[in-house]
Each structure stands twice: as C-alpha cells, then as structure tokens.
Amino acid sequence: MSIERLDLQDWQLNAAPDPAWQAALEDGAVLYCPNLCFALSSSEQHYLDPSLTNQKRKSIYIRGDSATLYGTDASANDQEGLLAMLTRYRSASMHLLTQMFPGYGPAMRPAGTSFRPRPTGTGEAALSWRKDDTRLHVDAFPSNPTRGLRILRVFSNVGTSARVWRVGESFEDMARRFVPNISAPLPGFAALIHSLGITKRKRSAYDHYMLHLHDRAKADLGYQRDCAQQRIEFAPASSWICFSDQVMHAAESGQYMIEQTIHLPRAALAYPEHSPLRILERMAGRELLPAAET
Ligand SMILES: [Fe+2]
C-alpha cells in the first residue's frame, strides 16, 4: 500500500509532469493532492444537501460524455446547476490527467461523473454487504464487465469534514490470498447472463476473477479486520487519484465528494506487468481475455 503526496494546487499544471507519478499510480499508489481544491461557487454550496438524491441512490451522476443527469428529483433549476457542476468537474479532471499522464491522453474515456452528498455507509450500502464500500475492496461491477479496461478515478472532497479511507495491502498480496479458492468460470455462463441482459457485455475470465475478488474480500470480516492496512484522512478541499480496480480501498466515513471515473485501455499503460490483468494471468498460468483483446 502506498500513499504518495503531490503538491499540486491547480487543475492546470504549471510545470512538466513528473514521470514518477505514472510509475507510482500504475504500481497501485494513491496520489494524494492535499492542496488541490475543486472550489464550489456560492450557488453550488447550496447543493451540499443529501436530500437532493433520490431515495435509493447514493449519487447524482452523468454518464460518459453525455449531458443527462440521473439520481435526483431536484427542481429543473437545480438540475441545471448540478449538471453544470458535474460537467465542470469532468472537464477539470480529464484536463488534469491529460497533463499528468500524457501517454494516456486521447485513450482516456470518461465513464461517469458523480456527486455523493450522503454520508458513506448509508442508503444501499446499509442493506447489502456487497454494496458496502466501507469494506476493503477493488472495484468490479456485476453488470458492467470492463473486459480489461482499467478503472482510473479522480476524487475531490467538497465538504467540510475529512473523508476517511482505509487502504489495504497490494493487489498481488490480496489476490494471492483469495484466488486459489475461486473456481474457474462455468462454460456458457457468461454468454447466458449476457443474453438475459444481466451484464452489459459478456463477462470475460478476467472480469470473473475481479468480481470474485471484490466479493471474497468484502465477505471476509477477519480479513477486513486483520489485513495490512492504513487509514488516511483526505482533508476538506483536497483531491486524490488512483486505479480503483487495483487499490484495496474502503470509504470509512465522509460526506460530499465529487468523483470522475475514466476507462483506460491497457495499451496506454506504461507498466502493464503491474496491472491486475497481468498479475492474475501470471497466477492462473493462462490468458484471461480473448487474444484479440490483449
Ligand atoms: Fe470502490
């Protein structure tokens, strides 16, 4: 586990990027920028209100590069303001990453931008251990297989209290613990659940292992308690960046965060041997994606 502190103060870099940032990021570090603030305007401060979300949603969000807002029944006026805030965050975070990691540049695909006005651990998370992100996990989603696209995320704390994470052991150490007990995918199962509309695309063997790692770690309370981990407080007005499909993370407490998710093709990685796909393939002794996609 590693937390690297970066002294960035602006979403526009004023110097050349440090190549060590990319090496650390791809090695599974969280890049913490304590002085990188996503400032809300005085009218946006009004959105620091958990009642703006729909009852069942934990976030208000836009998808991809679209301009349709989901997750709120706010007034038309407020929806317009929320959409503008999320769109501005998407632009700022994509611009920052393009400067920090020039090799990712045009390969980056915005996957979603969300505003989370509720305290962590409430809503859906309180009902299901699988959705409980206060437990250490790597990101993997049952209905949305990535087929090897990396999940890169930028987070900003826009509230007035710290957002507290626990960050766990390395991906490889975690995988070594759980993979031996995960059965291989059942032949035909991925095609079946895709044909039934349960998954948005066909789940690859890689997605199968990632999903089981997410579930096994969350289900194992002894592991949650005893594994190597450190606690980190992301201060108000700070930001941080990580590959959330690689960093074991748990959102222990906090409220009011904005987050950008980016899907990154593996071809853009400088150190693909450090990626979850390659680590799992080395452990499995075989390829986990069809050859055409590797
Ligand atoms: Fe997560």
* Residue 251 CA to ligand 1 centre (angstroms): 8
SS3 198: coil
Assigned domain for 23 exists: no
Whether 132 is covered by a domain: the verdict is yes
Q: From ligand 1's centre to the CA of 47, what distance in Å?
A: 23
In a domain, 21, yes or no: no
pLDDT at residue 1, as a whole number: 66
Domain assignment present for residue 223? The answer is yes
Single-letter code of the amino acid located at 289: L
Q: How far is the CA of 14 from the centre of ligand 1 (A)?
A: 31
CA of 247 to the centre of ligand 1 (A): 9
Residue 231 burial (C-beta neighbours within 10 Å; 0-12, 13-18, 19+): exposed
Q: Which residues surround ligand 1, an ion (CB under 5 A)?
A: 139
In whole angstroms, give the CA distance from residue 242 to residue 5.
12
Q: Is 118 within the bounds of a domain? A: yes
Per-residue pLDDT of the chain (294 residues), as tens digits, is 699 999 999 999 999 999 999 999 999 999 999 999 999 999 999 999 999 998 777 899 999 999 899 999 999 999 999 999 999 999 999 999 999 999 998 999 999 999 999 988 766 556 788 989 999 999 999 888 999 999 999 999 999 999 999 999 999 999 999 999 999 888 888 888 888 888 888 999 999 999 999 999 999 999 999 999 999 999 999 999 999 999 999 999 999 999 999 999 999 999 999 999 999 999 999 999 987 665
Centroid of ligand 1 to alpha carbon of 136 (angstroms): 8
Q: According to the model, what pLDDT value does residue 120 have?
A: 85
Q: What is the pLDDT of residue 124?
A: 59
292 located within any domain: no
pTM score of the predicted model: 0.95
What residues make up the domain containing 71? 3-9+28-284
Cα separation, 115 vs 82, in Å, equals 9
Tokens 């590959």, residue located: 243
Domain count, the chain: 1
In a domain, 18, yes or no: no
Could you tell me the end-to-end alpha-carbon distance of the chain, in angstroms, rounded to an integer?
27
Q: Which residue has the tokens 């590693």?
A: 2
Task: For residues 67 and 87, give the distance between their C-alpha atoms in angstroms, rounded to a whole number.
Answer: 8
If one counts every other C-beta atom within 10 angstroms of the C-beta of residue 2, the result is 13
Q: Report the C-alpha gap between 119 and 111 in whole angstroms.
A: 23
Whether 187 is covered by a domain: the verdict is yes
Instruction: Yes or no: say if 239 and 157 are a contact pair by the CB < 8 Å rule.
Output: yes
* The two structure tokens encoding residue 205: 């063997």
